Each structure stands twice: as structure tokens, then as C-alpha cells.
Amino acid sequence: MSKYTIVIHGGAGTILKSMLTPESEQNYISGLQNAVNAGYEILKNGGSAISAVEAAVVSLEDNELFNAGKGAVFTKKGVNEMDAAIMDGSDLSAGAVAGVRNVKNPIKLAREVMTHSGHVMLGGSGAKEFAINRGVELASDEYFFTKYRYDQWVEIRDSDYYQLDHKEDNLKGMAHEEKKFGTVGAVAIDEFGHIAAATSTGGMTNKRYGRIGDSPIIGAGTYANDKTCGVSCTGHGEYFLRAVVAYDVSCLMEYKGFSLKDACNEVVKNKLVKIGGEGGLIAVDSFGNYELCFNSTGMYRGVRNAEGVNQVSIFKDE
């Protein structure tokens, strides 16, 4: 029986129905559905999980509603620095980029790093040089400029404060249309039983000193292993790094025999909560089971599988 499945996220955090107009809610729903569909089409046509997660993430990176690619937030210095990672659970190969600027789709560059660099992770200007060598598309600063991200940053740029893209504090004084959220990610299993995970982010508004979050760190924000599961995280990266979240879910399954559901709940709703880490994750196991698990008030998320499940949601209890 075919069990191909894709799950996606567009960020977790303080996401309440009262914060979105019906129109902006609909825009998020469409953005999520388009991304799920992009990955699902590949799986349905016999494509690989790694190509499916890349396609889903590219769709979200190109959508300025989400904090990745085009919609990336601003750093302390008023620029966009992006992180991304991709991992293939069939052979544990992985590629990641950190602190990259002017790369249109950081997830494509992460995949190039995985397949063509001989390394796992490239940072900053070296990653950009590699992008140029590999013919990965670049984009100007203007492409990454979005007014609401700029306004978010202007509000706090003179402070030492940096913030998750989805804190209620961000929203003070902003019109509904300006309340944007979301690091993005995708996890899939293909018809051959291979699992892949991908995550892409602009990080946190007003981040400084070359700050790198959990998203591009293999084992923290992104992980995939055919033997257990694939995981992509979103939330306050410092906590996800310290809790080594994605690999911890896999380890609970591999060494303790936990089900995917129990492993996700243990890490997200117990371990992370105890250290104050807000956020969530999406995951798929080797049977095609999936989890969309979070300890915040909402998470932009979606799932589509071979058995006809096809759903995108935003708030808790949906």
C-alpha cells in the first residue's frame, strides 16, 4: 500500500483568529495549500521525498507572507540573512546554509551544498560564492524588501530586543494586513519509503552578531532518517538548539521505541515547555504516520497523503 505523505509548516507562535482578517486568513490558507500541492504532485508522480520537500519550501519562500526567502525578516543591521537546511533520510546526507544574503531560494542552495560541495554547511559570503559557482539564482535587496517586515524592525531596531516573528508584541499598533508570521518547512515520505526534511527561515527580527538559529542545524531544527522519522521545527531557535529537538524525536523512537506521536509530545509539550521554548514541529515516520505538534497558540500547517487526507490549518483545535 502506498503511504506517501507530505506535511508543511509556515511558522508557529502567538497566532489567534482575532489577529487575522478573513481575507488575510484566506491568503495564508491558499499559500499553505499551494505549498502542500507542490510537494504532493511530485510524490503522486513517483518523485522523491527530497524533491517534494524542496518544492514545497520553494513555494513558501516565494510567498512574502512567510518569514523565509522573499518575506525574510530584517536583522539589527537592516538586512536579510537567511538560514536553510535539507536532509535525505535514505543515506543521512544533508546540506545547510547559514547567514546567506541575496539568495532567492536558500533551500535550493542547501540542496546544492548537500549534493555538490563535499560539505554539510556553508555560511555567509562563502555560501554566496558557492551559489554563484553553482548558478543558483540571486536576488537584489529590493526583492527582499517588504514594508511590514521593515516596520516590524524599525519598531525595535534601537533596542537590544530581538523577537520571534510571531510574538503578540510584534503586533502592537499594526494593521491586520501587517501581522505576518513564519519560518517554513516540509517533511515527506515517498512511495519508496524514503523520508526527507527541509526548513528555511529569515530567523528572528533584529537578530545580531551573525546569529544563527536552529533551522539550519542538522539535528536541532531539521533531521531525517528512513529508520525513524523526518522533522522540521519552528519556534524560538535558541531553545530548540539547546534541546536538540529534531534528533531527540528521532532518538526517542530509535532507542526507546516511542511512537512518533509520543516522541513529538514528549519533546514539544514536556521537554521544551520546561525550559521555556515556544514553538512546534512537523514530522512523518516510516509508516507514513504524521504529526503537527506545537505548544504555542497556533501553527501554520498542512498535510496531504495517498489516503486522501488534504488539510491546512492555522489555529489550535482545528
What residue ranges bind ligand ASP (CB under 6 A)?
A: 11, 67, 164-165, 183, 201, 203-204, 213-215, 221, 234-235, 237, 240
Of 213 and 230, the one with the shorter C-beta distance to ligand ASP is 213
Of 95 and 237, the one with the shorter C-beta distance to ligand ASP is 237
Of 213 and 288, the one with the shorter C-beta distance to ligand ASP is 213
Beta strands across the sheet bearing 121-123: 121-123, 93-100, 82-88, 195-201, 184-189, 5-13, 298-305, 310-315
Q: Measured from the CB of residue 108, what is the shortest distance to ligand ASP in angstroms?
A: 19
Dihedral, CA atoms, 276, 173, 176, 83, nearest 10 degrees?
-50
Q: Measured from the CB of residue 183, what is the shortest distance to ligand ASP in angstroms?
A: 3
Of 221 and 230, the one with the shorter C-beta distance to ligand ASP is 221
Q: What does the DSSP assignment read for 126-187?
A: HHHHHHHHHTPPB--HHHH--HHHHHHHHHHTTSS--B-TT-GGGGTT--GGG-----EEEE
148-167 core/surface letters (b: 16 or more CB in 10 A; e: else): bbeebbebbbeeeebbbbbb
| Bridge-based pairing state of the strands 222-224 and 195-201 | unpaired
Q: Measured from the CB of residue 47, what is the shortest distance to ligand ASP in angstroms?
A: 27
SS3 107: helix
Among the listed residues 14, 75, 183, 222, the single catalytic one is: 183
SS3 217: coil
Q: Measured from the CB of residue 184, what is the shortest distance to ligand ASP in angstroms?
A: 9
Of 111 and 236, the one with the shorter C-beta distance to ligand ASP is 236
The reply to whether 183 belongs to the active site is yes
Q: Measured from the CB of residue 209, what is the shortest distance to ligand ASP in angstroms?
A: 14
Q: Measured from the CB of residue 44, what is the shortest distance to ligand ASP in angstroms?
A: 29
Q: Do 69 and 87 touch, CB atoms closer than 8 A?
A: no
Cα–Cα distances in angstroms (integers) from residue 230 to residues 118, 201, 213, 272, 313, in the given order: 22, 18, 19, 18, 20
Nearest-CB residue for ligand ASP: 237
Of 47 and 221, the one with the shorter C-beta distance to ligand ASP is 221
The set of catalytic residues is: 183
